[in-house]
Amino acid sequence: MSGILEGKRILVTGVLMESSIAFHTAKVAQEQGAEVILTAFPRPTLTERIAKKLPKPATVFELDVTNDEHLARVEETVRKELGGLDGVVHSIGFAPQDALGGNFLNTPFESVSTAMHVSAFSLKSLTMACLPLMENGGSVVGLTFDAQFAWPQYDWMGPAKAALEATNRYLARDLGAKNIRCNLISAGPIGSMAAKSIPGFGELAKVWDERSPLAWDMADPEPAGRGVVALLSDFFPKTTGEIVHVDGGVHIMGA
């Protein structure tokens, strides 16, 4: 029996640790029949080491999504390896330390600008770099952390994720004519590299322990990875501009 991504070519960003959603997205994608290529920044050797734990070999190339020269090389690099693309996974987010951990009112604009560039604008940059490779349409899937709410300790990453969610909607609007779908997975907290960079992350994670209708395991990124793979597949052919929650149901809870 073939998988739901049989024959598809997928680019995955953000594989830094085996505990990351991006790693499990790449793993499930391969298990479902996809050819996968990975990008890495700032340490390609780290991603290459983690990639060896995937079911199948995957090429890794360096990509800083804030570097125009790196973005300009994406088409040539990917076309040489895979010939084209059917899907792109945006799993990229960063904010300087002074933009997190309760410092919201004192964060300088330079740090906010960095958070917005890396975490939100890069969805557009990455998608446009990959656009020539998706000649027959495709699916772009990003990862957010529900930006409807003000979360403890999350500070300027909250507005950055809100900008990411808005960017996704505008990409969906403008790329629909090319048969390219753009969606996001809103995942619950995972003990990834990104999470560990947030001061007081445990306080944020406690929300899930107390409020999640479904038991939530911060050590299990696979449910979110499966959600990404589902949106990459042809099982959502007319869904775009959407945010699918894989958060145990916390987003539905009131008081």
Residues that are catalytic:
154, 161
Sequence length of the chain is 255
What b-and-e string marks burial along 52-61, b requiring 16 or more CB atoms within 10 Å of the CB? eebeeebbbb
Q: Using an 8 Å Cβ cutoff, are 114 and 132 in contact?
A: no
**Residue 2: exposure state from Cβ atoms within 10 A (0-12, 13-18, ≥19):** exposed
Residues pairing with 85 in the sheet? none
List of residues 6+ apart from 65 with CB closer than 8 A: 13, 41, 71, 92, 118, 122, 125, 126
248 phi/psi in degrees, rounded to 5: 75, 0
Phi, psi angle pair for 185, to nearest 5°: -100, 125
Report the distance separating Cα 141 and Cα 89, nearest Å: 5
